């Protein structure tokens, strides 16, 4: 569990390098800043409020909302065993805390290169500190999604983590509008990422961390289950790469590394909901479909002019939904009752996240504004918001 915690921690570096690699050099400091400060603030917020919203425990106040007070201390008359056995209170907190900031980090990618820093941090604090743990409680804190007749199943968070981030990413990217010059009257203009080795490092670190994300979600050190989850996680990521390779080759007639990288993530998000319930063949199929979906989703979002610089919506929302649904279609839980339970969970979580993230982003847009001005966007956020450059020693092409 503690090793798993560390692996999830390093995913934040994966997100940082992936997002920075897939965007332009002139916005790199801004992206690094966001992806450093969000996990840091997420940890503090989750300790102060989030954990007690997500796992209200003895002070459990209902099936939709509960809260056990501010700050982090083992509540009186209540111990780890109230909700799970085999690890300590602090282990539970730190593992969950490492997850928490992920939701905001996913959004970060979709709104990159044009969002104002202050409003984004404000959004992240509320979304990570309040919205994410409320949704999490519905399933993992013993809430109503877990106590339905056929409980909604989401092993490690295709919906509870990835879709939660994905919905807000969709809302944010939509309300911001596309980057300048992305969709022109003469068609869509690709804006290539400035550092593909860094993006590749990001995806490998994410895959590495995913073994902790999924493996740790077994919540015991039972080697049988953990090792099976490792295999399904590895196979789904690999199959996602293969699916994206094949479909992007047929679509674009080229070997697109960014599609393969997103295909890996797509496979991983897709297996996350059912990593412990799938056989090896099923994991491969789920990953393969996820890797294919992501290629077409990227094309689709560009068609409807939702500009997502890193493909976060395609990876985390589309494949988060797919993976959640797949629990009803394949593996140990497959069957109509489970399909319905999965659809219920997807819809309820989706509605809540869509509405709350809309409320936050829309309020910010109408008050302090969420988008940098045109001059700043053209020159880059690094010079304007941070007074520094990511690579001051190198000559740029422009």
Interacting stretch for a copy of itself, rule CB under 8 A, among 105-113, 127-135, 150-158, 280-288?
A: 280-288
Verify binding: residue 235, a copy of itself, rule CB under 8 A. yes
Interacting stretch for a copy of itself, rule CB under 8 A, among 199-207, 294-302, 349-357, 358-366?
A: 199-207
Three-class secondary structure of residue 198 per DSSP: helix
Displacement of CA 38 from its chain's centroid (Å): 13
Nearest approach, Cβ of residue 377 and a copy of itself (Å): 15
Q: Name the residue among 151, 166, 161 with its Cα closest to residue 277.
A: 151
From candidates 100, 110, 164, 226, binder to a copy of itself by CB under 8 A: 226
The token pair that represents 341 in the structure block: 């339970």
Interacting stretch for a copy of itself, rule CB under 8 A, among 87-95, 172-180, 299-307, 337-345?
A: 87-95
Verify binding: residue 153, a copy of itself, rule CB under 8 A. no
From candidates 84, 88, 147, 220, binder to a copy of itself by CB under 8 A: 88
Interacting stretch for a copy of itself, rule CB under 8 A, among 66-74, 142-150, 336-344, 352-360?
A: 66-74
Buried b (16+ CB within 10 A) or exposed e, 202-220: bbebbbebbbbbbbbbbbe
What is the contact mask toward a copy of itself in residues 100 to 119, using x (rule: CB under 8 A)? -----------------x--
Q: Pick between residue 181 and residue 337 the one whose CB is nearest to a copy of itself.
A: 181
Using CB atoms within 10 Å of the CB of residue 389, give its burial: 0 to 12 exposed, 13 to 18 middle, 19+ buried: middle
Q: Pick between residue 1 and residue 346 the one whose CB is nearest to a copy of itself.
A: 1
Q: Where are the alpha helices (DSSP H) in 140-279?
A: 144-147, 164-176, 196-216, 223-252, 257-272
Three-class secondary structure of residue 371 per DSSP: strand
Length of the chain: 398
Nearest approach, Cβ of residue 118 and a copy of itself (Å): 9
């Amino acid at each position: 569990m503690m090793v798993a915690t560390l692996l999830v921690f390093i995913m934040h570096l994966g997100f940082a390098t992936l997002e920075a690699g897939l965007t332009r050099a002139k916005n790199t400091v801004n992206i690094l800043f966001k992806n450093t400060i969000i996990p840091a603030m997420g940890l503090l917020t989750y300790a102060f409020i989030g954990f007690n919203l997500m796992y209200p425990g003895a002070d459990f106040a209902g099936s939709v909302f509960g809260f056990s007070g501010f700050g982090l201390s083992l509540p009186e008359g209540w111990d780890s065993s109230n909700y799970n056995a085999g690890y300590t209170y602090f282990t539970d907190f730190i593992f969950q805390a490492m997850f928490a900031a992920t939701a905001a980090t996913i959004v970060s990618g979709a709104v990159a290169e044009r969002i104002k820093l202050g409003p984004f941090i404000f959004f992240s604090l509320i979304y990570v500190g309040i919205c994410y743990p409320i949704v999490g409680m519905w399933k993992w804190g013993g809430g109503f999604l877990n106590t339905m007749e056929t409980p909604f199943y989401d092993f490690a968070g295709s919906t509870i983590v990835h879709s939660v981030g994905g919905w807000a990413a969709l809302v944010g990217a939509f309300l911001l509008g596309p980057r300048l010059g992305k969709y022109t009257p003469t068609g869509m203009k690709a804006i290539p990422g400035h550092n593909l080795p860094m993006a590749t490092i990001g995806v490998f670190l994410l895959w590495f961390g995913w073994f902790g994300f999924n493996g740790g979600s077994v919540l015991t050190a039972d080697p049988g289950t953990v090792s099976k989850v490792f295999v399904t996680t590895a196979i789904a990521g690999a199959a996602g790469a293969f699916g994206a390779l094949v479909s992007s080759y047929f679509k674009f007639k080229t070997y697109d590394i960014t599609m393969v990288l997103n295909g890996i993530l797509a496979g991983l998000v897709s297996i996350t909901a059912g990593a412990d319930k799938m056989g090896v063949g099923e994991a491969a199929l789920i990953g393969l479909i996820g890797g294919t979906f992501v290629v077409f989703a990227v094309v689709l979002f560009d068609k409807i002019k939702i500009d997502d610089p890193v493909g976060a919506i395609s990876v985390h929302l589309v494949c988060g939904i797919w993976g959640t649904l797949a629990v009803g279609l394949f593996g140990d839980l497959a069957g109509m009752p489970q399909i319905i339970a999965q659809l219920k969970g997807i819809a309820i979580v989706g509605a809540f996240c869509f509405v709350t993230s809309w409320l936050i982003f829309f309020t910010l847009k109408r008050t302090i504004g969420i988008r940098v001005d045109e001059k700043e966007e053209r020159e880059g956020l690094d010079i304007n918001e941070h007074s520094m450059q990511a690579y001051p020693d190198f000559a740029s092409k422009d």
